[in-house]
A and B are shown apart, each in its own frame.
Chain A
Amino acid sequence: TQLLEQSPQFLSIQEGENLTVYCNSSSVFSSLQWYRQEPGEGPVLLVTVVTGGEVKKLKRLTFQFGDARKDSSLHITAAQPGDTGLYLCAGAVAQGAQKLVFGQGTRLTINP
């Protein structure tokens, strides 16, 4: 059974600070996706990383896929109140229909 451990579960920081969210697993994933989920809504895709060691940037967000494709991180630079929300990582299992295995999420609060 593939598991994806996401940390921290909760993070509250001041506007302008930097932060990093981690997702770790003992399993290899064919790709890893980061989503943001608002209350009562579905996950909205932020980025997909596919290649081991891949780094993708989305404005102030930097996503990295580990060399062994078992872990990933999301780094936010100069966080803003608009970054507040629930961030989810999800690994695509490298067999069959490639279901997604989700982490438990990081609830991020950016205080003005």
Chain B
Amino acid sequence: EPEVTQTPSHQVTQMGQEVILHCVPISNHLYFYWYRQILGQKVEFLVSFYNNEISEKSEIFDDQFSVERPDGSNFTLKIRSTKLEDSAMYFCASSDDLAKNIQYFGAGTRLSVL
């Protein structure tokens, strides 16, 4: 069964460093999303991406965040200068249509900022 793949599973970084989280969405999907989940809290929407551009972003998704689809398969989330409060699980999701908007999630990347 097709699945969303995220790498790495765990990323440890120093405060102020840049990190790039990688996702390979399901191959025929067109809509891509990043969510995050701080330990013990709700899953929160960060950004959605369609047709090579951001379609919506949350207040969390400030200038330190960016997304890119560098080729036909990868979808990346970059945090330019990490802060302690960026420590969380980051989930990538993809969907093939908006009518039902069934979003399939990857296993996540645990980001630990020290």
Contacts and interface: CB of A to CB of B under 8 A. Distances in A.
Interface of A: 30-31, 33, 35, 40-45, 48, 50, 88, 90, 92, 96-105
A102 to B, nearest CB: 4
Contacts of A43: 43, 91, 105
B56 A105 contact: no
A100 B45 contact: yes
Contacts, number: 69
Contacts of B105: 35, 42-45
B100 A50 contact: yes
Given A45-B104, A48-B100, A99 B45 contact: yes
A97 B31 contact: yes
B108 to A, nearest CB: 5
Contact of A96 (B4, B43, B56, B108): B56
A100 B100 contact: no
A35 B42 CA distance: 13
Interface residues on B, range: 20 to 34
Interface of B: 4, 6, 31, 33, 35, 41-45, 48, 50, 55-56, 58, 89, 91, 93, 98, 100-108, 110
Contacts of A48: 100, 102
A43 B33 CA distance: 14
User: Which residue, of A50, A92, A98, A101, has the highest number of chain B Cβ atoms within 10 A?
Assistant: A98
B72 to A, nearest CB: 20
A102 B44 contact: yes
A51 to B, nearest CB: 10
B59 to A, nearest CB: 10
